[in-house]
C-alpha cells in the first residue's frame, strides 16, 4: 500500500476528488433531524452534553454539518477545508443557521500547510472526521494535528481501515473513477461499489422485513446524519486515499502524548475506524 503519495498529487486537481461538489448536493437533503443526529454523535463521542466555553477546530469541515453541531453545543468554532466548495457549504450553513455569529470562523486552508496552521491557538476539541487520509500525506497530517490540541483536550478523528489487498483494489477503483471522464465507466464503478458495500444489507433487510432498502432509508437517522448515496459517492471518488490499521493510529498518537478514550472499529471491514484521544497533561 502506498503510504505516501507524491506531493504533486495533492496539488493536481485532476487526481483529487471534488469533495465539495458532493457536499453541495448533500446540503439539499439537510434537515433538522440530520442536524440533531450530528449533534448527538458529538455528544456521545466526546462524552459531553455541551461544549460551552470550549474551542472546536473542524479540519476538513466538508458540508459544515459538524461545525454547525459544535456551534449549537455552544463551542467557539473554527472551520477550514482545502476545497473551496466545501468552504462555501460551511459558509452557507453558517449564513442559514447562525447568521452574524461571532463565534464561528470559516477559512480555506490545508492541514498540510504549517504556515496556515500557525494562526490557530491550541484548541479544546480538534475534530477531523474522514479527512487526514484524503490529504495525500496522512502521517504529516497526523503530525500537524498533534500540535494543535490543548493539554487535556480531545482529538476526534476517523481514518480508513487498512484491509491489505482489498484497500489496494479500492485505491485502483478510486483512481479509475477520478481519471475517467466517461459517465458509463463512472456509473459501472458506482454500481460495483454499491453492490460490494450494500448487497448483504439489502438481502438481510429483505429477509427480515420484506423491505431491502430499510437500512438505506434509515441511514440519516443512524449514521451522523449522513446520506448513504453521498457517502457512497464520497467513497468511490475519495482520492487521495490512505489507510491505517487501528494499532498504527493508536501507536502514532500514543507516542505524541495522547491517551485513547474511545474507539469504534469497523471490525476489520471496509470503512473508517474512529478514535477519540485525550492529550495527556
Ligand X SMILES: C[S@@+](CC[C@H](N)C(=O)[O-])C[C@H]1O[C@@H](n2cnc3c(N)ncnc32)[C@H](O)[C@@H]1O
Binding site for ligand X (CB under 6 A): 19-20, 59-63, 66, 81-83, 86, 110-112, 129-131, 134-135, 234
Instruction: Write down the least CB distance from residue 220 to ligand X, Å.
Output: 13
Instruction: Write down the least CB distance from residue 66 to ligand X, Å.
Output: 5
Nearer to ligand X, 153 or 225 (CB): 225
Nearer to ligand X, 215 or 227 (CB): 227
Instruction: Write down the least CB distance from residue 260 to ligand X, Å.
Output: 20
Nearer to ligand X, 70 or 205 (CB): 70
Instruction: Write down the least CB distance from residue 281 to ligand X, Å.
Output: 28
| Cβ-count burial 23-50 (b if 16+ within 10 Å, e if not) | bbebbeebeeebbebbbebbeebbeeee
Residue nearest to ligand X (CB): 62
Instruction: Write down the least CB distance from residue 204 to ligand X, Å.
Output: 26
Nearer to ligand X, 212 or 271 (CB): 271
Nearer to ligand X, 127 or 253 (CB): 127
Amino acid at each position: 500500500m502506498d503510504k505516501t503519495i507524491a506531493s504533486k498529487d495533492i496539488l493536481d486537481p485532476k487526481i483529487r476528488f471534488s469533495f465539495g461538489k458532493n457536499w453541495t448536493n448533500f446540503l439539499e437533503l439537510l434537515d433538522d433531524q440530520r442536524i440533531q443526529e450530528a449533534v448527538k454523535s458529538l455528544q456521545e463521542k466526546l462524552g459531553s452534553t455541551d461544549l460551552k466555553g470550549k474551542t472546536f477546530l473542524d479540519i476538513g469541515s466538508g458540508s459544515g454539518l459538524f461545525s454547525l453541531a459544535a456551534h449549537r453545543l455552544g463551542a467557539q468554532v473554527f472551520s477550514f477545508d482545502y476545497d473551496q466548495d466545501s468552504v462555501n457549504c460551511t459558509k452557507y450553513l453558517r449564513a442559514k443557521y447562525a447568521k452574524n455569529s461571532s463565534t464561528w470562523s470559516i477559512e480555506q486552508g490545508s492541514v498540510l500547510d504549517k504556515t496556515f496552521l500557525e494562526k490557530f491557538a491550541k484548541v479544546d476539541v480538534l475534530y477531523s472526521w474522514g479527512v487526514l487520509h484524503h490529504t495525500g500525506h496522512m502521517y504529516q497530517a497526523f503530525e500537524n494535528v498533534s500540535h494543535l490540541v490543548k493539554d487535556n483536550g480531545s482529538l476526534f478523528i476517523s481514518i480508513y481501515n487498512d484491509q491489505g489487498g482489498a484497500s489496494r483494489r479500492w485505491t485502483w477503483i478510486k483512481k479509475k473513477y477520478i481519471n475517467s471522464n466517461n459517465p458509463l465507466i463512472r456509473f459501472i464503478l458506482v454500481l460495483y461499489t454499491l453492490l460490494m458495500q450494500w448487497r448483504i444489507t439489502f438481502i438481510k433487510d429483505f429477509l427480515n422485513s420484506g423491505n431491502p432498502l430499510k437500512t438505506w432509508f434509515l441511514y440519516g437517522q443512524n449514521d451522523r446524519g449522513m446520506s448513504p448515496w453521498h457517502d457512497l459517492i464520497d467513497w468511490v471518488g475519495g482520492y487521495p486515499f490512505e489507510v491505517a490499521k487501528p494499532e498504527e493510529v493508536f501507536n502514532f498518537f500514543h507516542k505524541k502524548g495522547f491517551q485513547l478514550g474511545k474507539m469504534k472499529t469497523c471490525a476489520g471491514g471496509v470503512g473508517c475506524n474512529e478514535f477519540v484521544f485525550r492529550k495527556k497533561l
